[in-house]
Amino acid sequence: MNFRMFILIILSFFLSNCSSNGTVKVKNLNNPSNQLQIGFGSCLDQSKPMPILRSIVSEEFNLFLMLGDNIYGSSKKGEIKKIESAYEIQAQNFKKFGFDMHFEAIWDDHDYGLNDGGKEYLLREKSKELFLEFWEIPKDDPRRSRKGLYHDFTINSGSKKIQLIFLDTRTFRDKLKPTDSKGKPGKERYIPNNDSSFTMLGFDQWQWLIKKLSETTDYRIIISSIQFVAVGHGWESWKNLPHERNKLIDLIDNSVIKNTLVLSGDRHRGGIYQLITKNGNIISEVTSSSLNASFSNPEEAGPLRIGKTFVEENYGAMYFNDKSDTLSVFLKNIIGEELASIKVGSL
């Protein structure tokens, strides 16, 4: 898998540089059709068949966002050898399917190394190095010189600016509060912890995020490996730490953006969710999971959800049209058929 050769091929389409603070990559896309196409998905088990990649490759996305669980290398003890082996197999899978488009990625627990793990995972720096090497993150990228994998970049498409913010919900997160009724709907594994000293992102990432949310942009997309808006279950989500969830909602609500899009994975079900803030702003969430690790699951409670969820294999697709100033987001099944969609407004 040689991403550097691919980058050389598309230099006529992308021009990358760093801002003065070294935290933003700006990609200027030569987009004569006025249509920017971005795919996204999560939960890609290297040991299972992955026919969905054929549909994704046929889309000819300009960019594909890997939302986490991009391999399955976690274990009870978090052994690094299992992560190394998973990456080796996944590299061969990508090569076999010609899955060699431009990627941006964040991790979740199964490529982090510890199931449902947070900052208690002692080998997180070693697993981080494996992530950086697999995705061929440049040596001067800020992710190589600071803790965690949070990062952002901006795409300039025509006259519009699209900001993408990737949050690291693993490296700094405190342990979650175990449920008092295991398996009960809404309390399946965890229950909310109202202790405001517990953190999802950690101090440094929060400070960074506050600055990012103050920047001017036409569209803002936040990538969180775990669900943010959704509250109808007791699995991992921002609901587990309500103080942190409310903090981010307030920050979004007080920014200049009226419509914010959140992309998430993790759940082995896809769905669309929407929250109206107290100031009347809209936070929409599209969850895409899984690419090839689906299993049958009953429907769950759906406060804030639009329509039903989808437990079969799925991926996401975003189409931005500069002329009409529209961002359309779709969930698609294994053969590329539409399951659900939503339109997201700009400023």
Domain tally for the chain?
1
Cβ neighbours around 125 below 10 Å, total: 10
Q: Looking at the domain assignment, is residue 299 inside a domain?
A: yes
Helix (H, G, I), strand (E, B) or coil at 92: helix
Q: Looking at the domain assignment, is residue 31 inside a domain?
A: no
Q: Residue 166's closest CA among 183, 182, 153?
A: 153
* Residue recorded with tokens 């100031």: 279
Q: Looking at the domain assignment, is residue 209 inside a domain?
A: yes
Cβ neighbours around 319 below 10 Å, total: 16
Report the number of secondary-structure helices (H) and strands (E) in the chain. 7, 15
| Residue numbers of the domain that contains 94 | 3-8+36-344
Q: Looking at the domain assignment, is residue 100 inside a domain?
A: yes
326: which 2 tokens?
Answer: 């529209």
> What pLDDT was estimated at residue 33?
55
Report pTM.
Answer: 0.91
* Region class of 4: left (phi > 0), else alpha (psi between -120 and 50), else beta: alpha
* Residue recorded with tokens 């800020």: 142
Q: What is the DSSP letter of 94?
A: H
Of 79 and 268, the structure prediction assigns the larger pLDDT to 268
* pLDDT category of residue 75 using cuts at 50, 70 and 90: confident
Q: Looking at the domain assignment, is residue 165 inside a domain?
A: yes
Q: Which of 9-18, 35-44, 231-240, 290-299 has the lowest mean pLDDT?
A: 9-18
Average the pLDDT over 160-184 and give the result: 96
Q: Looking at the domain assignment, is residue 15 inside a domain?
A: no
Q: Looking at the domain assignment, is residue 168 inside a domain?
A: yes
Backbone angles phi, psi at 222, to 5 degrees: -105, 125
The domain that holds 252 is classified in CATH as 3.60.21.70
* Residues 153, 67: Cα–Cα separation, whole Å: 15
Q: Looking at the domain assignment, is residue 250 inside a domain?
A: yes
